[in-house]
A = this chain, B = another copy of it.
Amino acid sequence: MPGQGRRRRCEAADGTHRQLGRGRGALLEPAVLAALADSEAHGYDVRKSIEDMTSGLVSADSGGLYRLLRRLEDDGVVVSTWVEGGSGPQRREYALTAEGRELLAHWLDHLRERERVLSLLVAAVERVVAKD
**B116 and A34 form a contact (CB under 8 A):** no
**A120 and B57 form a contact (CB under 8 A):** yes
**B115 and A111 form a contact (CB under 8 A):** no
**B101 and A125 form a contact (CB under 8 A):** no
Which B residues are CB-close (under 8 A) to A20? Answer: 27, 57-58
**A119 and B125 form a contact (CB under 8 A):** no
Which B residues are CB-close (under 8 A) to A83? Answer: none
Docked complex Cα distance between A61 and B101 (Å) = 32
Copies in the complex: 2
Q: Give the interface size class of chain A.
A: 35 or more
Docked complex Cα distance between A57 and B27 (Å) = 19
Tell me, rounded to whole Å, the shortest Cβ–Cβ distance linking A25 to chain B: 3
Interface positions, chain A 3-35, Cβ under 8 Å from B, are 19-21, 25-28, 30-31, 33-34
Residue A68 CB within 8 A of the other chain: no
Docked complex Cα distance between A109 and B129 (Å) = 11
